[in-house]
C-alpha cells in the first residue's frame, strides 16, 4: 500500500485506540469516584466518632468502613486491566505514579482505621490522613483526564473533575464542621476556613455548571434544597463564639444535613460518568465507521493503480501516462484522498481549538499547582503555607487565584 495511505490509516487506528483507552479510563474514574464517595462518608463519621466518644456510633462507623472496603475492592479489581492495557506505552508515567501513590496511601488505611478505633489520634489527625488519601485518589482522576483527545469528552471530564473537587470540599467542610459543632463554637480561624470551603465549592460548581450536559441538571436541582439547609447551619456557625456556645448535639444534625446533601450529589456524579461513557461509545463507533470508510476507499485506489504511487508513474524527464491524473478514475480517488487528508487536518485543528477552550479549567488548576510548588521550592514553604500565600495574594489584589499563579510563574526567576 502507498505509504501516505498507510499513515492515514494508522492515524485513524491510533485515534481509535486513544478513544478506547479513554473509555476504559472513564470506567476507572467512575470506580475511583465511588470509592472517594465512600471514603468521604467514612472520614466524616470517623471525625464524629472521635469528637463525641460514644460507643453507640461504632456500628455505623463499621458499616461505613465496609462500604469503603468494597469500593476499594472494586477499584483494585479494575487495576489489573489498567496495567494490561498500557504498560508498554509511553506517556503513562504520570498516571502510574499517581496510582502508585494512591495505592500506598490506601495500604495505610487499615492502620488508620485501627488508630481511629483505639483513639490513638485526634479528629484533626484523622481528618488530615483521610483527606490526604482522598486527594491522592483525586490526583489519579485529574491525571487520567489529562489524556483526553476529544473536545466534547474533555468538556464532560472538566465538568466531572470540578464536580468531584466541589464534592470533596463539601466533604471536608462536613468533617471540619463536626469539630466546631462538637466544641459548641467556631474560632475566628475556623470561621475563615469554613468560608473558604464554601467559596471553593461555589467556584467548582460554577465551572461544573458551565460544562455540564443538560441531562444531569435535574439531578443537580435535587441538591439545592439540601444546600439551603446546610446554608442555614453555616450561618449559625458564623455567629458562634467562645462566649456563645451551641448545643454539641448539633454536630450530629450538621453531619446528617451535610451527608444528605453529599449523597444527593452522588447521582449527579454518576449521571456525568454515564454521559461520559455514552459519549465515548459514540465517538468510538464514529471513528470505527470512518476508518472502515477510509479502508474501502483505499481498496478502490489499490485496484485502480495497482498500489503504485504517482511517483512511479512519472519521472523527471517524461511522463509515462501523458494524461494528467486529474482526468481519470484514479484522479478522482487521488482527489478524495487529498480531501480526506485535508478534512482530517481541519478536524484536528478544530479539536485543538475546542480542546484548548475545554481544558481552560484544567490548565488553570495545573498553573495553580505549579505556582504553589514553585513557592515551596524557592522559599522552603510547606505545601499548605504556599497555598495560603497564593490565596492571600489573590484576596489582597482582587485577582483570581489563576491570575496570581500566572504572575508568579511569569516572574523572572530572581524575583519570585
Residues 119 to 178 in contact with a second copy, rule: CB under 8 A = 147, 149
Among 232, 356, 378, 379, binds a second copy (CB under 8 A): 356
Among 57, 183, 302, 374, binds a second copy (CB under 8 A): 374
Q: Confirm or reject binding of residue 383 to a second copy (CB under 8 A).
A: no
- Judged by beta carbon, residue 260 or residue 374, the one nearer a second copy is 374
The CA–CA distances, whole Å, from 190 to 177, 234, 285 equal 9, 12, 52
- Judged by beta carbon, residue 128 or residue 192, the one nearer a second copy is 128
| Contacts to a second copy from residues 22-81, by CB under 8 A | 22, 62, 65, 76, 79
Measuring CA to CA, which residue among 2, 239, 17 is closest to residue 147?
A: 17
- Judged by beta carbon, residue 91 or residue 398, the one nearer a second copy is 91
CB neighbour list of residue 1: distance below 8 Å, 6 or more residues apart:
298, 302, 307
Question: What 3-state class would DSSP assign to 91?
Answer: coil
CB of 69 to a second copy, least distance (A): 9
CB of 111 to a second copy, least distance (A): 5
CB of 385 to a second copy, least distance (A): 16
Among 70, 81, 89, 400, binds a second copy (CB under 8 A): 89
| Contacts to a second copy from residues 310-349, by CB under 8 A | 310-311, 314-319, 337-338, 341, 344-345, 348-349
Contact status, residue 194 vs residue 186, Cβ threshold 8 Å? yes
**Cell 486513544, residue?**
18
Burial of 167-197, coded b for 16+ CB within 10 Å and e otherwise, reads bbbbbbbbbbbbbbbbbbbbeeebbebbebb
Q: Which of 19-27, 36-44, 153-161, 394-402 is the region at the interface with a second copy (rule: CB under 8 A)?
A: 19-27
Cβ count near 305 (within 10 Å):
20
Measuring CA to CA, which residue among 212, 404, 286 is closest to residue 20?
A: 286
CB of 125 to a second copy, least distance (A): 15
Measuring CA to CA, which residue among 51, 332, 20 is closest to residue 149?
A: 20
**Cell 449559625, residue?**
236
CB of 309 to a second copy, least distance (A): 5
How many CA atoms lie within 13 Å of 293's alpha carbon, on the beta-carbon side?
10
Q: Confirm or reject binding of residue 289 to a second copy (CB under 8 A).
A: no
- Judged by beta carbon, residue 60 or residue 345, the one nearer a second copy is 345
Q: Confirm or reject binding of residue 415 to a second copy (CB under 8 A).
A: no
Q: What angle do CA 408, 161, 21 make, to 5 degrees?
A: 110
CB of 254 to a second copy, least distance (A): 26
Cα separation, 364 vs 401, in Å, equals: 9
CB of 98 to a second copy, least distance (A): 8
- Judged by beta carbon, residue 86 or residue 177, the one nearer a second copy is 86
Among 54, 70, 81, 104, binds a second copy (CB under 8 A): 104
Question: What 3-state class would DSSP assign to 120?
Answer: coil
Q: Confirm or reject binding of residue 185 to a second copy (CB under 8 A).
A: no
Among 83, 199, 329, 395, binds a second copy (CB under 8 A): 83
Q: Kindly determine how many residues on this chain lie close enough to bind a second copy according to the rule CB under 8 A.
A: 79
Among 1, 13, 187, 379, binds a second copy (CB under 8 A): 13
Q: Which of 188-196, 199-207, 232-240, 352-360 is the region at the interface with a second copy (rule: CB under 8 A)?
A: 352-360
Cα separation, 7 vs 377, in Å, equals: 44
Cα separation, 40 vs 34, in Å, equals: 10
Cα separation, 198 vs 234, in Å, equals: 9
Cα separation, 116 vs 305, in Å, equals: 75
- Judged by beta carbon, residue 199 or residue 346, the one nearer a second copy is 346
| Contacts to a second copy from residues 234-273, by CB under 8 A | none
Cα separation, 339 vs 267, in Å, equals: 44
Among 1, 10, 128, 217, binds a second copy (CB under 8 A): 10
Q: Confirm or reject binding of residue 210 to a second copy (CB under 8 A).
A: no
Length reported for the chain:
416
- 3-state SS of 182-225 is HHCCCCHHHHHHHHHHHHHHHHHHHHHHHHCCHHHHHHHHCCHH
Q: Which of 111-119, 163-171, 189-197, 296-304 is the region at the interface with a second copy (rule: CB under 8 A)?
A: 111-119
CB of 165 to a second copy, least distance (A): 19
Q: Which of 95-103, 154-162, 199-207, 272-280 is the region at the interface with a second copy (rule: CB under 8 A)?
A: 95-103
Amino acid at each position: 500500500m502507498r505509504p501516505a495511505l498507510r499513515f492515514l490509516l494508522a492515524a485513524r487506528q491510533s485515534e481509535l485506540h486513544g478513544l478506547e483507552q479513554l473509555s476504559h479510563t472513564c470506567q476507572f474514574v467512575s470506580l475511583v469516584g465511588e470509592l472517594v464517595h465512600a471514603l468521604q462518608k467514612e472520614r466524616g463519621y470517623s471525625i464524629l466518632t472521635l469528637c463525641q466518644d460514644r460507643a453507640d456510633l461504632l456500628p455505623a462507623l463499621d458499616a461505613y468502613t465496609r462500604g469503603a472496603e468494597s469500593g476499594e475492592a472494586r477499584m483494585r479489581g479494575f487495576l489489573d486491566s489498567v496495567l494490561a492495557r498500557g504498560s508498554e506505552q509511553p506517556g503513562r508515567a504520570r498516571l502510574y505514579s499517581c496510582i502508585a501513590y494512591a495505592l500506598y496511601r490506601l495500604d495505610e488505611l487499615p492502620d488508620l482505621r485501627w488508630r481511629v478505633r483505639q483513639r490513638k489520634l485526634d479528629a484533626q489527625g484523622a481528618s488530615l490522613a483521610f483527606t490526604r488519601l482522598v486527594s491522592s485518589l483525586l490526583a489519579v482522576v485529574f491525571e487520567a483526564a489529562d489524556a483526553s483527545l476529544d473536545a466534547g469528552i474533555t468538556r464532560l471530564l472538566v465538568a466531572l473533575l470540578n464536580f468531584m473537587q466541589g464534592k470533596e470540599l463539601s466533604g471536608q467542610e462536613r468533617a471540619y464542621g463536626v469539630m466546631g459543632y462538637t466544641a459548641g463554637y467556631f474560632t475566628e480561624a475556623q470561621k475563615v476556613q469554613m468560608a473558604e470551603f464554601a467559596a471553593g465549592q461555589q467556584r467548582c460548581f460554577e465551572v461544573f455548571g458551565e460544562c455540564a450536559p443538560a441531562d444531569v441538571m435535574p439531578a443537580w436541582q435535587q441538591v439545592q434544597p439540601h444546600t439551603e439547609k446546610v446554608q442555614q447551619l453555616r450561618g449559625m456557625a458564623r455567629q458562634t463564639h467562645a462566649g456563645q456556645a451551641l448545643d454539641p448535639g448539633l454536630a450530629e444534625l450538621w453531619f446528617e444535613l451535610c451527608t444528605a446533601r453529599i449523597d444527593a450529589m452522588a447521582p449527579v456524579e454518576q449521571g456525568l460518568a454515564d454521559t461520559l461513557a455514552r459519549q465515548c461509545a459514540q465517538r468510538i463507533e464514529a471513528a470505527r465507521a470512518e476508518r472502515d470508510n477510509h479502508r474501502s476507499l483505499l481498496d478502490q485506489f489499490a485496484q485502480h493503480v495497482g498500489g503504485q504511487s504517482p511517483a512511479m508513474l512519472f519521472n523527471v524527464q517524461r511522463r509515462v501516462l501523458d494524461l494528467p491524473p486529474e482526468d481519470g478514475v484514479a484522479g478522482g480517488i487521488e482527489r478524495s484522498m487529498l480531501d480526506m487528508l485535508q478534512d482530517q487536518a481541519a478536524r484536528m485543528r478544530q479539536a485543538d481549538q475546542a480542546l484548548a477552550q475545554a481544558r481552560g479549567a484544567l490548565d488553570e488548576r495545573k498553573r495553580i499547582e505549579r505556582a504553589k510548588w514553585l513557592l515551596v521550592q524557592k522559599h522552603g514553604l510547606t505545601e499548605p503555607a504556599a497555598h495560603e500565600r497564593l490565596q492571600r495574594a489573590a484576596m489582597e489584589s482582587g485577582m483570581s487565584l489563576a491570575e496570581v499563579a500566572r504572575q508568579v510563574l511569569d516572574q523572572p526567576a530572581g524575583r519570585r
